[in-house]
Structure 1
């Protein structure tokens, strides 16, 4: 695939690039705590301040004040455990980096656990046909937004997840177990627009199809959904008014009213499902938003991004698109056609067929990108060669390429570019190249799958700073560099 250099010209989050005839500039550029000192004229490497990869304690973006008039479009996105999170004062137990990658591996393993070794389906659009295996996307997200439910509106902080369909929150009375959350549980009796979905209705049947839940019910439609990390939510299926902004209100929005919920949700109030199924938020708002949404995930936990719908999505200049593919066994997933990888400006010798064995899905809830074993081996080899001047560190979990950078203030990282069908290139932001496990362990933020039949997954670490535009109506997904910081 030819390299689309025009996609590189919009430098991430508005950094000023000063070019000399020979060599690089030494100008320090800072944006919301992430510092890239230089980028060479051929975009083969990044020079960053190592301190910019460290966790921050102060939010560089003023948080929005709660209240209906301050819910806006696009919605402000914050990392669940960062200083910008609305949950930061909710006594949330912040997991260690080791726990985060462990939870991430559990999510990925479960996602692939339903794969049949001998079963293939077809991912396709008008020009692409890719064999793929099916799986279930069950897991939780890493980023949160605020939404409103009920009349009068009650505000909630929820995780959003493109790999989940059902939106749910915790409701009063919590007859079973409920996890601790920062906000009060949803008081359905205080909402004049609240109602339950009848058992046996079309909406109830759609819910059972989406969740795979066949619980018997007599009068009120019930649900139970499990996640790959062992988390779960159960309760009854309800309707009420959803408020995403002062002007974007959706009556009779269907969601799960959770009365028995446990797991790794932190102190968040529930989950906003952005999958493709009929019960998802994307599908339920299609008349207003036209099946289009986007998000931008920040490069650090001390800054914020956004989640946008409809005409507010896709506003970043120079968005490059690749087809969104459909897996007939897993039509709620968002699949892409990945074709290659470049490291340090050089295209790796990987056959495109390596990426089509199982297909590649894009997921907001998976942290680290997963690649087919052959593709990952090539990436790892090239990255290790480029980083040969730095001391190696002990590997851990599924991360096998780690470095002890404790004695360095600045680090030179090779560029990593992910190539997709139709000349769409994702020039990974430097914040998405390394994952810090400890002060002496900075690891390559990619991992290899156990088998070629496992899904490739484009994780949220590599999506940082790009506006990722899901134009489901047109069957395409776009990347816009510099969407946020």
Structure 2
């Protein structure tokens, strides 16, 4: 995703991530090491490093990822954030203006992290979780909304719409929050393979008090992952109907391409919400693995054991709308738009 920071504005890039809250970009502290266009803060007349004593901007009580410097005499407001894949980024918190295209709306005092250390293959992160530091909450603090649609065609350009431009389409799902965590937990009560319920108690998908159990949606996850019990139950239903699966690469549930798909359509995986069933498009769930004869289910066993996450690949060509004020998620299968408005 491209955003425009500074005065004069500079185009910088970041990965859009609904599973985290901070926005951070590569700054010229990494000069000579940047693989992507970086933000040169010294060229912006509006750039300000945030002082830790400024409690309106250095909001350490709202997130564990922002802290004050522990070095005596240093009043820097710092951030240090880690991700599930083991990568991390750290740097200083800063403010500057952000310009939103195409209508060129200018928003002052936008808070973001100016990175001094981050993974070389990550240009930045555009955090869109439910937190005061996230992109949607900063742009529209009183009525935060956003939507996005990821096309299954790699060459297509995808757009994120914020505020009044957000498309809240389709049926809605109640979203649950855990403390100050930015995550979007969905109110899931079960799963289906075609018409068959997998044998898992609804509590397996319920958000727990410690937030370690539940079913999240996260654009930063490439593939869906299921808790240990849910994954085993899903695997069992498929095994009963199609025989023992084969493991190919990182995917545990694979079948030969010529069987049983020649005579039987691919199984449809459904997620049961409180009032309705959302069926995942089989083309987003099953994939032929290279030159092999196997087609694999694009679902992993969760490394967190108890947590389930709906990943981005399973939602290709689905408009996803978030209403943060009212805690609703909207899902609508569609051909993703290729224009901004």
Matching residue within 150, 155, 158 for 2:11:
155
2:181 aligned residue: 331
The match for 2:69 is 215
Q: In the alignment, is the contact (CA less than 8 A) between 2:23 and 2:125 conserved in 1?
A: yes
Structure 2 length normalisation: TM-score? 0.84
Q: Is 1:169 equivalent to 2:25 in the alignment?
A: yes
Q: Distance in 2 between the 1:409 and 1:400 partners?
A: 18
Higher relative contact order (CA 8 A, sep 6+): 1
Q: Whole-Å Cα distance in 1 between the matches of residues 108 and 289 of structure 2?
A: 44
Equivalent residue runs for 1:19-418 within 5 Å = 145-174=1-30, 178-181=33-36, 183=37, 185-207=38-60, 209-210=62-63, 211=65, 213-216=67-70, 218-247=74-103, 248-265=105-122, 269-287=123-141, 290-314=143-167, 316=169, 319-328=170-179, 330-356=180-206, 358-387=213-242, 393-397=246-250, 399-405=251-257, 412-418=265-271
Deviation at 1:312, TM superposition (A): 1.8
Q: Work out the CA distance in 1 between the residues paired with 2:204 and 2:172.
A: 22
Query: Could you say which residue in structure 2 is the equivalent of 1:74?
Result: none
Whether contact under 8 Å (2:224, 2:309) holds in the other structure is yes
Give the direction of change, closer, same or farther, for the CA distance of 1:180–1:451 in structure 2 (3 Å limit): closer
Q: TM-score, normalised by structure 1?
A: 0.61
Asked if structure 1 preserves the Cα contact closer than 8 Å seen for 2:18 and 2:129, the reply is yes
Measured after TM superposition, the shift of residue 254 of structure 1 is: 0.8
What's the CA shift for 1:213? 3.7
Does structure 2 retain, via aligned residues, the 8 Å contact 1:149–1:240? Answer: yes
Contact 2:68 2:75 in 1 (8 A): no
Residue 457 of structure 1: which of 309, 312, 318 is its match? 309
Q: Alpha carbons of 1:475 and 1:157: their partners in 2 closer, same or farther (altered >3 Å)?
A: same
Question: CA offsets per residue over residues 35-81 of structure 1, 9 Å max, x none?
Answer: xxxxxxxxxxxxxxxxxxxxxxxxxxxxxxxxxxxxxxxxxxxxxxx
User: Greater strand percent: which structure?
Assistant: 2
Question: Does the 8 Å CA contact 2:284/2:313 hold for their aligned counterparts?
Answer: yes
- Residue 34 of structure 1 is matched in structure 2 by none
Aligned-residue CA RMSD in angstroms?
A: 2.9
Find the aligned partners of 1:483 and 1:474 in 2 and give their Cα distance: 26
Rounded to whole Å, the distance in 1 between the matches of 2:291 and 2:67 is 44
Unaligned runs of 5+ in 2: none
Task: Sort the Cα spacing of 1:404 and 1:393 in 2 relative to 1 into closer, same or farther, 3 A.
Answer: farther
2:277 maps to 1:425? yes
Whole-angstrom CA distance in 1 between matches of 2:201 and 2:81: 38
Task: Specify the SS of the correspondent of 1:283.
Answer: helix
Secondary structure in structure 1 of the residue aligned to 2:321 = strand
Asked if structure 2 preserves the Cα contact closer than 8 Å seen for 1:150 and 1:188, the reply is yes
Q: Tell me by how many angstroms 1:338 deviates.
A: 0.9
Which structure carries more helix by proportion?
1
| Structure 1: unaligned runs, 5 residues or longer | 1-144
Residue 136 of structure 2 aligns to a residue whose secondary structure is: helix
- In the alignment, is the contact (CA less than 8 A) between 1:172 and 1:186 conserved in 2? yes
Q: CA deviation at 1:304?
A: 3.7
Match of 1:443 in 2: 296
